[in-house]
Amino acid sequence: MNVGFAGVLPVVPTPFTRDLAVDHASLHALVDYAVRCGAGAIVYPGVASEDVQLNDVERCASMRTVVEAAAGRIAVVGGVNAAEFGDMVANAKWMAKTGVAGIMAMAVPTMAAKGYASCYQELAAATGGLPIILQNLVKPRGADLLVEEMLDIAGAVDAVRYVKEEAVPPGPKVGALVASGADALDGVIGGGGARFLFEELERGVIATMPAMELLELHVAMLRDYGEGRRDAAFELYQASLPLLLLQASYRMRLTKLVLKHRGIIATDEVREPLPQLDEVTRRLVLEYFMRLPVNGVKSDG
């Protein structure tokens, strides 16, 4: 099995200024941070980037910043997601010209009428055959494809090399994809914010695609697991769960609070309509973070 995108592939958030403009200096700093941490690649924009909150001009400008900041030091996967398939093709065409190493394209319900394999073939043609990560998200935003449907797509479209599975719970689908997809796929990638990461590793994922607030921990966890230190990886996973439990509700607010606390981004502003973090929860988030047993994380606070 040829493994290209492997390890921790964080989705880079979109930082905003106090007036909710895109903060390109902080975006550049996030790419530098991913390089320092040893991420396998970075993904932008994705759901955790508040992609649906970016207009076309902002998306293009932010993507240029990410690729320029990466500067060949780390591979960039371009997220082409949109509600309408035609917009995804348009995104794929211009994104391929930026120098991305691959694209991530969510299977969305509007693809059904045309046929999913036909849609992914069109996306492959739009990029000149760059590797595609098929993102399988639950409804209503995603199509929530069956394992057999995803394998059929990968078998029909050479460029579809990976699946990022985001079922809840993910275990059965991940296991079935790994067991049956060796000929059609280069690998299966875990999603769900890494909340199910240990089980996904046990079932054979080659990568995880979380948000960025626990990047050092996730890199250390995958390194430990890959080098046979299963108990050490398990301890890191257990340590991550209090923070990831809160992250499931507060999403980008929590991610940005931690990144701001560390001085990596300037503000924790979000555009996504999310629950507010009150002072009790903010204090707990930072306490959970400070207690993490990874020196690279703990020493920054």
pLDDT computed for residue 296 by the predictor: 54
- 32-53: pLDDT as tens digits: 999 999 999 999 999 999 999 9
The secondary structure of 126-146 as a DSSP string is HHTS--EEEEE--TTTS----
Separation between Cα atoms, residue 44 and residue 137, nearest integer Å: 17
Instruction: Indicate the annotated binding residues.
Output: 209
Provide the domain limits for residue 111.
7-296
pLDDT computed for residue 297 by the predictor: 53
Nearest to 206 by CA among 154, 127, 143, 133: 133
Separation between Cα atoms, residue 89 and residue 290, nearest integer Å: 43
Please indicate, yes or no, if residue 301 is contained in any of the structural domains: no
Please indicate, yes or no, if residue 84 is contained in any of the structural domains: yes
pLDDT higher than threshold 60 for residue 3: no
Give the mean pLDDT of the chain: 95
CATH of the domain at 292: 3.20.20.70
Separation between Cα atoms, residue 229 and residue 225, nearest integer Å: 5
Q: Number of structural domains, the chain?
A: 1
pLDDT higher than threshold 50 for residue 92: yes
Please indicate, yes or no, if residue 129 is contained in any of the structural domains: yes
Instruction: Indicate the annotated binding residues for pyruvate.
Output: 209
Half-sphere exposure of 53 toward its Cβ, with a 13 Å CA cutoff? 19
- 128-170: pLDDT as tens digits: 999 999 999 999 889 999 999 999 999 999 999 999 999 999 9
Sequence-separated (6 or more) residues with CB below 8 Å from residue 66: 12, 27, 31, 42, 44, 76
| Cα separations in angstroms, 189 against 89, 139, 148, 165, 171 | 23, 19, 17, 6, 12
